[in-house]
Amino acid sequence: MPGWLTGKPTISPMTPDLSINLGGLAMKNPVMVASGTFGYGQEYDRYFDISKLGAVCTKSLSLNVRAGNKPPRLVETPAGLLNAIGLQNVGIDAYLREKAPYLRKKGVTIVANIYGHAPDEYVELARRLEAEGAADAIEANLSCPNVHNAKLATGPSMVSQVPEQVAEYTTSIRSATKLPLFIKLTPNVVNICEPALAAQEGGANGVALINTLLGMAIDTETRRPKLANIVGGLSGPAIRPVAVKMVWDAARVLKIPIIGMGGICIAADAIEFLLAGASSVAVGSMSFRQPDASLRVVEGVEAYLRQHGIPTVSDLVGAIRV
Ligand SMILES: Cc1cc2nc3c(=O)[nH]c(=O)nc-3n(C[C@H](O)[C@H](O)[C@H](O)COP(=O)(O)O)c2cc1C
């Protein structure tokens, strides 16, 4: 009999606990947005209250302003997006001056994603962010496919393809900051556990999995690559099964938590990542199609917990039945 006839609520009155502690970072819920798909937060604040998210992750910040690659830099693919933005960003000075104060005023939990050409650049970025109180955690992007020589395919083009380098970079950044440190890894490797374990050994508080998969697309009329950079990074629903598998692989060997991402569009997608072993999730490309997708994911995860009578979101982490 429906609840409006019996007087009994049809939805469980239990309010599930969505809060998590992600390697030392307190978050009101496990949902954040993925670097490079949400600007610096302010751009999305006119669509919804961004302080309702577990955290906002900034576009990768570098020491100097970067214009990025030449256009075309974005191509749609059957179930995703191929991008070669090339880390266009305002640079750390403008971030500290113009972007961070807005996020702080809004009470947003900030994960500052950083990018550099060598460990000392990451060190400087992390130090400045901590000193200025402009981040609650650091996510070091060791996995951008669009700035090195990925198109030459002559060998590893990203730091996170070489576990020894992951350890070296992580150790350096670790020594520069007390903020929770997450290392963002590339899926363009044979075994994701190797760089993930290297990050853990270097002192990371968590790993972010996954960055984009290398890809390219060709215009058959002009015979020219669709991206000016020739190659780019594939994101969106097409990569989700790859990402879930990598999270599952890494979760079985790591002691530190995982931020899972890759093709999350709706709450069920996020729940897949949690079941596979991610402690937190990030919504990426989907924000381009539906700006408030990340907030819908927060609401959907809460509804799922209620529906299944699960008291805390942490109960879902790694709860896959195999
Ligand atoms: C347009 C675009 C720009 C991105 N820029 C960055 C970046 O600056 N730093 C970074 O660590 N990841 C960047 N990423 C990768 C995303 O953060 C995320 O790891 C990836 O897109 C997978 O998630 P998704 O399938 O939900 O988009 C970018 C992705 C896209 C689509």
Domain of 179, CATH number, reads 3.20.20.70
- Give the residue numbers annotated as catalytic, written as ranges: 144
12 or 183, higher pLDDT: 183
Residue with tokens 């900051």: 177
Number of domains in the chain: 1
Among 304, 299, 291, smallest CA distance to 46 is for 291
Tokens of 72: 């075309």
Cα 232 from chain centroid?
Answer: 17
Mean predicted confidence (pLDDT) in 198-223: 97
Residue 225 lies in a domain: no
Q: Whose CA is nearest to atom 5 of ligand 1?
A: 36
pLDDT of 4 reads 46
Classify strands 110-114 and 55-57 as parallel, antiparallel or unpaired.
Answer: parallel
Give per-residue pLDDT as tens, 21-60: 999 999 999 999 999 999 999 999 999 999 999 999 999 9
Q: How far is the CA of 280 from the centre of ligand 1 (A)?
A: 16
Residue 209 lies in a domain: yes
As a whole number of angstroms, the distance between CA 133 and CA 160 comes to: 27
Tokens of 191: 């075994």
Residue 105 belongs to domain spanning: 3-68+87-213+236-316
Q: Whose CA is nearest to atom 6 of ligand 1?
A: 36
Residue 221 lies in a domain: no
Mean predicted confidence (pLDDT) in 138-143: 96
The rounded mean pLDDT for the chain is: 94
Q: Which residues contact 5 (CB under 8 A, 6 or more apart)?
A: none
pLDDT above 90 coverage of the chain, percent: 91
Q: How far is the CA of 37 from the centre of ligand 1 (A)?
A: 6
Q: Whose CA is nearest to atom 21 of ligand 1?
A: 235
Are 22 and 257 spatial neighbours (Cβ–Cβ below 8 Å)?
yes
As a whole number of angstroms, the distance between CA 141 and CA 143 comes to: 5
pTM above 0.85, yes or no: yes
Q: Which residues contact 211 (CB under 8 A, 6 or more apart)?
A: 141, 143, 144, 145, 160, 184, 185, 186, 187, 233
pLDDT surpassing 70 at residue 80: yes
As a whole number of angstroms, the distance between CA 28 and CA 134 comes to: 19
**Does residue 285 have its Cβ closer than 6 Å to ligand 1?**
yes
**Does residue 69 have its Cβ closer than 6 Å to ligand 1?**
no
Q: How far is the CA of 166 from the centre of ligand 1 (A)?
A: 19
As a whole number of angstroms, the distance between CA 226 and CA 233 comes to: 13
Residue 223 lies in a domain: no
The backbone torsions φ and ψ at residue 246, rounded to the nearest 5 degrees and listed phi first, read: -65, -40
Mean predicted confidence (pLDDT) in 89-115: 98
Mean predicted confidence (pLDDT) in 92-106: 98
* Beta-carbon-side half-sphere exposure of residue 36 (alpha carbons within 13 Å): 28
Give per-residue pLDDT as tens, 150-167: 455 555 689 999 999 999
